[in-house]
């Protein structure tokens, strides 16, 4: 569990390098800043409020909302065993805390290169500190999604983590509008990422961390289950790469590394909901479909002019939904009752996240504004918001 | 064991960054693509066929070749204990699967900057899916190298993994010929790597992963043996760095970071065959000699005009042989019978790998061709095979 | 413990990438070289002499100095249990060995971009091989700091590791003098780091490794204590980021990523002395103050013209002292006797390190010299000491 915690921690570096690699050099400091400060603030917020919203425990106040007070201390008359056995209170907190900031980090990618820093941090604090743990409680804190007749199943968070981030990413990217010059009257203009080795490092670190994300979600050190989850996680990521390779080759007639990288993530998000319930063949199929979906989703979002610089919506929302649904279609839980339970969970979580993230982003847009001005966007956020450059020693092409 | 699996996984990122860092910017996407898709395909191939070739278990058909059917499922009437105790079937698979793609990744470095993508992936699939597990079975699957009177000893794969890759690297580099402009009538022209920090990251990640590679090969969690293996692995890598530092300084009168990096890898490859049988002083000596060998091997291969952009043949083949032989010369097993057993193993595996890799590469060369055309090589593989650049925002020197 | 060892190992990559990222491209190879060769030589030196100076065990010769002979082998009649239980002799060695080189790596950052390679390596060998283990013995090897009436407390090395490096960093930076062009008659000129993504990678890897540094220092696998240490470590780093964000924003009116990165490290160094004795709120407070201190310390050292390219003195010395003192102010040990014990430890270790590092650096300065000549400093150390460039394919701005 503690090793798993560390692996999830390093995913934040994966997100940082992936997002920075897939965007332009002139916005790199801004992206690094966001992806450093969000996990840091997420940890503090989750300790102060989030954990007690997500796992209200003895002070459990209902099936939709509960809260056990501010700050982090083992509540009186209540111990780890109230909700799970085999690890300590602090282990539970730190593992969950490492997850928490992920939701905001996913959004970060979709709104990159044009969002104002202050409003984004404000959004992240509320979304990570309040919205994410409320949704999490519905399933993992013993809430109503877990106590339905056929409980909604989401092993490690295709919906509870990835879709939660994905919905807000969709809302944010939509309300911001596309980057300048992305969709022109003469068609869509690709804006290539400035550092593909860094993006590749990001995806490998994410895959590495995913073994902790999924493996740790077994919540015991039972080697049988953990090792099976490792295999399904590895196979789904690999199959996602293969699916994206094949479909992007047929679509674009080229070997697109960014599609393969997103295909890996797509496979991983897709297996996350059912990593412990799938056989090896099923994991491969789920990953393969996820890797294919992501290629077409990227094309689709560009068609409807939702500009997502890193493909976060395609990876985390589309494949988060797919993976959640797949629990009803394949593996140990497959069957109509489970399909319905999965659809219920997807819809309820989706509605809540869509509405709350809309409320936050829309309020910010109408008050302090969420988008940098045109001059700043053209020159880059690094010079304007941070007074520094990511690579001051190198000559740029422009 | 499962932690070790993850460490071996991250070695693939190490190989990707090392190879990309030691080659030119114009071929970086190609290298990232290869090093992403090979582990992914390797995982799938190994699940589908390789694992059952390497560990045929109850369906064991002989001492040279065995096969227990396609796909991954615990065969009836057969469990992990048939070949080893202390870990699950899935743990065994995933640990071995992470190893498997290494053989092809080693080749990738030696053939970089001029091989066609399609043929290389085709080669990798066959070599990782069939050739590697057949050799692996000879020793680790209970085959004839393991049942000789004095069994061939190769703790974690100086021969079974590194030389297997190294022989194919030699064949591939030879059949491809050198990169344009490398060997001119007026002498050898160094083609420097474009990103030495990335190469350094690669070597540290490989060293990090090597602790899993060697530590996990203990195949138990016995802390006494695992901790000793950690120490020999650390010391051999450090001594390899020192050996390469000293010999490259005397040879080139400069502090060459790439030699030190390859010296670390040389030390690690050298200790891999006997990491559990050596004392600390012996590990230092073996690493030191490995680090020295690699400097002279790099010079030698350049002299005979075998162009190996990253020094993979020197590191993995030369030091793989040295490390395997060292098991007969030093440590708990030292003695003439072991020397002979080691030489037998080296020769038989070498012959098999040389012949099979020659057959595959030569057939590909005579049919679809294995080398990109001159224009593509000059402009870079990234633009021509992938329609993208690794660093589109930066001005290049050319 | 063994996992912790690996995490500490990867900190060396963190130091390498952080230092390289925060300095100029023309000195990158030099920095990579130092940060590769120092851990390698540190491992060898520590095996040959350091470990037996730090943990003299049965051959314990006094409370200030002890030595149990050269080389690494379990001394007769003496086993791990003489100084601690729960892990093997080799585990103990390798965990401590991974720490050892840290002291020199800290110095490396402060003297970067102008120190000669040879003298620096010479300094590192003596400091890591002799000075560090002597100080370490005073506390961790059972020496006089541990046997005072109220023992000096330093859980994982705010003083014993970080200040030991920090004092030598201060001495080295002072004796070398500032980089050319840093302090001009018209004021201080910022010399920005050439690769901020790499610096960010470095800090995340250091944070990642710190969990091993602090977690492993529990020296048992007791999940209660280890998990609490994980939480205090995570929270202090996050609070350090927040402290640096706020204070640097008020000071410079910009969102400075380098300050946030150093703030994280400041928080981590600050919690290191008392990671197991603090509650969550106390950890947050200690980290927050550390993150604030680092911003003002960086400004202060620039004011007195001590040029520290990466802020190593501010992070490791200032926060090392602060964190050590904090053990007397907060948490389970708080109280006047502990404050006095902490002050004693800080002063005695400081005096010893200041004097010994002065002696070594000053002797080197007066004999072979420690600073490269002006031409070499202007052109970069890479071309002059290593005959290579870190990024030969890219055009620079100069």
Q: Do B388 and A204 touch (CB under 8 A)?
A: no
Q: Which of C289, C274, C266, C161 is nearest to C203 (CA)?
A: C266
- Would you say residue B76 has pLDDT above 80? no
Q: Do A231 and B72 touch (CB under 8 A)?
A: yes
Best mutation target, C21, C26, C195, C197, to test chain A (most A CBs within 10 A): C197
Quick check: B215 and C2 in contact, CB under 8 A?
yes
**CA-CA distance, A121 to A104, in Å (whole number)?**
9
| Residue A375 buriedness (CB in 10 A; 0-12 / 13-18 / 19+) | exposed
At C1 the pLDDT is: 75
Residue where the block lists tokens 């590495």:
A208
Chain A residues in contact with C286 by the CB 8 A cut-off are: none
How many Å lie between the alpha carbon of C285 and the closest alpha carbon of chain B? 34
How many Å lie between the alpha carbon of A390 and the closest alpha carbon of chain B? 12
CA distances, C307 to each of A184, C110, C164, C372 (Å) = 49, 7, 19, 16
**CA-CA distance, B1 to B88, in Å (whole number)?**
10
Looking at per-residue pLDDT, the higher value among C216 and B312 belongs to: B312
- Among C33, C392, C395, the residue with its CB nearest the CB of B260 is C33
Give all chains having 3 or more CB-to-CB distances under 8 Å with chain A. B, C
What percent of chain C stands above pLDDT 70?
A: 92
Q: Do A227 and B90 touch (CB under 8 A)?
A: yes
Q: What is the pLDDT of residues B223-270, one digit of tens each?
A: 778 888 999 999 999 999 999 999 999 999 999 999 999 999 999 999
Minimum CA–CA partner of B244 in chain C:
C37
At C7 the pLDDT is: 92
**CA-CA distance, B289 to B294, in Å (whole number)?**
9
How many Å lie between the alpha carbon of B142 and the closest alpha carbon of chain A? 24
Q: What is the pLDDT of residues C56-69, one digit of tens each?
A: 765 555 676 777 66
Q: Is B122 on the interface with A (CB under 8 A)?
A: no
- Would you say residue B75 has pLDDT above 60? no
**Average pLDDT estimate for C347-355:** 97
Best mutation target, B13, B229, B257, to test chain C (most C CBs within 10 A): B257
Task: Identify any residues that bridge with B188 across adjacent strands, giving them in sequence order.
Answer: B183
Chain C residues in contact with A47 by the CB 8 A cut-off are: 231, 235, 280, 284
Chain A residues in contact with B387 by the CB 8 A cut-off are: 252, 254, 256
Region of residue A20 (phi > 0: left; psi between -120 and 50: alpha; otherwise: beta) = alpha
Residues in chain A with pLDDT < 50?
77-83
Chain A residues in contact with C395 by the CB 8 A cut-off are: 394-395
Lowest mean pLDDT among B29-33, B371-375, C219-223, C258-262: C219-223
At B31 the pLDDT is: 97
At A269 the pLDDT is: 98
Q: What is the pLDDT of residues C225-261, one digit of tens each?
A: 888 899 999 999 999 999 999 999 999 999 999 999 9
At B51 the pLDDT is: 84
Beta strands, E only, chain C: 183-184, 187-188
- Would you say residue C264 has pLDDT above 60? yes
Q: Which CATH superfamily is domain C2-73+84-386 in?
A: Ammonium transporter AmtB like domains (1.10.3430.10)
How many Å lie between the alpha carbon of A273 and the closest alpha carbon of chain B? 20
At B80 the pLDDT is: 46
Q: Quick one: how many helices (H) and strands (E) in chain A?
A: 18, 2
At A334 the pLDDT is: 95
At C80 the pLDDT is: 46
- Would you say residue C35 has pLDDT above 60? yes
Q: Do A40 and C241 touch (CB under 8 A)?
A: yes
- Among B205, B241, B395, the residue with its CB nearest the CB of C36 is B241
Quick check: B35 and B22 in contact, CB under 8 A?
no
Best mutation target, B393, B394, B395, to test chain A (most A CBs within 10 A): B393
Q: What is the pLDDT of residues B154-202, one digit of tens each?
A: 999 999 999 999 999 999 999 999 999 999 999 899 999 999 999 999 9
Q: Is B304 on the interface with A (CB under 8 A)?
A: no
A-C CB pairs within 8 A amount to: 149
**In chain A, which among 342-381 make CB contacts under 8 A with chain C?**
none
Q: Do C40 and B264 touch (CB under 8 A)?
A: yes
Quick check: A107 and A128 in contact, CB under 8 A?
no
Chain A residues in contact with B47 by the CB 8 A cut-off are: 231, 235, 280, 284
Looking at the domain that runs over B2-71+84-184+195-386, which CATH code has it been given? 1.10.3430.10
At B224 the pLDDT is: 79
At A96 the pLDDT is: 87
Region of residue B290 (phi > 0: left; psi between -120 and 50: alpha; otherwise: beta) = alpha
Chain A residues in contact with C207 by the CB 8 A cut-off are: 9
3-state secondary structure of B221: coil
**Average pLDDT estimate for C272-285:** 95
- Among B13, B91, B389, the residue with its CB nearest the CB of A204 is B13
For C184, list phi and psi in degrees, rounded to 5: -105, 165
Best mutation target, B93, B97, B390, B397, to test chain A (most A CBs within 10 A): B390
**In chain A, which among 28-67 make CB contacts under 8 A with chain C?**
28-29, 32-33, 35-37, 39-41, 43-44, 47
- Would you say residue B85 has pLDDT above 60? no
Q: Which class is A2-71+80-386 in CATH? A: mainly alpha
3-state secondary structure of C84: coil
Task: Identify any residues that bridge with C371 across adjacent strands, giving them in sequence order.
Answer: C115
In 10 A of CB C283, how many CB atoms? 31
For chain C, the average pLDDT equals 91
Q: Is C239 on the interface with A (CB under 8 A)?
A: yes
At A82 the pLDDT is: 47
Q: Is C265 on the interface with B (CB under 8 A)?
A: no
Chain A residues in contact with B28 by the CB 8 A cut-off are: 196-197
The token duo for B206 is 């490989």
Q: Do B238 and C40 touch (CB under 8 A)?
A: yes
The token duo for A322 is 């797919």
Q: Is B383 on the interface with A (CB under 8 A)?
A: no
Chain C residues in contact with B259 by the CB 8 A cut-off are: none
3-state secondary structure of B309: coil
Rg (alpha carbons) of chain C, rounded to whole number: 20
Check the CA dihedral B24-B30-B31-B32 and report its sign. positive
Minimum CA–CA partner of A98 in chain C:
C234
At B273 the pLDDT is: 97
**CA-CA distance, B79 to C375, in Å (whole number)?**
68
At B81 the pLDDT is: 46
Quick check: C24 and C383 in contact, CB under 8 A?
no
Q: Do A47 and C280 touch (CB under 8 A)?
A: yes
Q: Do B20 and A197 touch (CB under 8 A)?
A: yes
At C23 the pLDDT is: 97
Q: Do B257 and C388 touch (CB under 8 A)?
A: yes
- Would you say residue C313 has pLDDT above 50? yes
In 10 A of CB C397, how many CB atoms? 13
With a threshold of 0.85, tell me whether the complex ipTM lies above it. yes
Count how many Cα atoms sit within 13 Å of the Cα of residue C171 in the half-sphere of its side chain: 26
- Among C5, C35, C392, the residue with its CB nearest the CB of B194 is C392
- Would you say residue C358 has pLDDT above 90? yes
- Would you say residue C385 has pLDDT above 70? yes
Looking at per-residue pLDDT, the higher value among B77 and C203 belongs to: C203
Q: Is B242 on the interface with C (CB under 8 A)?
A: yes
**Average pLDDT estimate for B300-329:** 97
- Would you say residue C26 has pLDDT above 70? yes
**CA-CA distance, B387 to A255, in Å (whole number)?**
8
**CA-CA distance, A233 to A280, in Å (whole number)?**
9
**CA-CA distance, B34 to A96, in Å (whole number)?**
35
Q: Is A81 on the interface with B (CB under 8 A)?
A: no
Q: Is A383 on the interface with C (CB under 8 A)?
A: no
How many Å lie between the alpha carbon of B332 and the closest alpha carbon of chain C? 16
């Amino acid at each position: 569990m503690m090793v798993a915690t560390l692996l999830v921690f390093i995913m934040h570096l994966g997100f940082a390098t992936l997002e920075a690699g897939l965007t332009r050099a002139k916005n790199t400091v801004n992206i690094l800043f966001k992806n450093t400060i969000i996990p840091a603030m997420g940890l503090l917020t989750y300790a102060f409020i989030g954990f007690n919203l997500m796992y209200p425990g003895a002070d459990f106040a209902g099936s939709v909302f509960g809260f056990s007070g501010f700050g982090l201390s083992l509540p009186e008359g209540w111990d780890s065993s109230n909700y799970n056995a085999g690890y300590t209170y602090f282990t539970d907190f730190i593992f969950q805390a490492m997850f928490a900031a992920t939701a905001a980090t996913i959004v970060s990618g979709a709104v990159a290169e044009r969002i104002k820093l202050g409003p984004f941090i404000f959004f992240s604090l509320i979304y990570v500190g309040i919205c994410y743990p409320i949704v999490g409680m519905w399933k993992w804190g013993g809430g109503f999604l877990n106590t339905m007749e056929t409980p909604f199943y989401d092993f490690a968070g295709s919906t509870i983590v990835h879709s939660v981030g994905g919905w807000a990413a969709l809302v944010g990217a939509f309300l911001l509008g596309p980057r300048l010059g992305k969709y022109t009257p003469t068609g869509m203009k690709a804006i290539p990422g400035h550092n593909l080795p860094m993006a590749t490092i990001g995806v490998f670190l994410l895959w590495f961390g995913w073994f902790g994300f999924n493996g740790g979600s077994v919540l015991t050190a039972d080697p049988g289950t953990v090792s099976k989850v490792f295999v399904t996680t590895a196979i789904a990521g690999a199959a996602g790469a293969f699916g994206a390779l094949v479909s992007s080759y047929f679509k674009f007639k080229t070997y697109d590394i960014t599609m393969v990288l997103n295909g890996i993530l797509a496979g991983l998000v897709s297996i996350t909901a059912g990593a412990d319930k799938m056989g090896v063949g099923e994991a491969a199929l789920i990953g393969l479909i996820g890797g294919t979906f992501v290629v077409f989703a990227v094309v689709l979002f560009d068609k409807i002019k939702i500009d997502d610089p890193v493909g976060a919506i395609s990876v985390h929302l589309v494949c988060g939904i797919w993976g959640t649904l797949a629990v009803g279609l394949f593996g140990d839980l497959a069957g109509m009752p489970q399909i319905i339970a999965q659809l219920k969970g997807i819809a309820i979580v989706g509605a809540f996240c869509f509405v709350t993230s809309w409320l936050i982003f829309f309020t910010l847009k109408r008050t302090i504004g969420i988008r940098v001005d045109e001059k700043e966007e053209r020159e880059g956020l690094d010079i304007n918001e941070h007074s520094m450059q990511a690579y001051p020693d190198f000559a740029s092409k422009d």
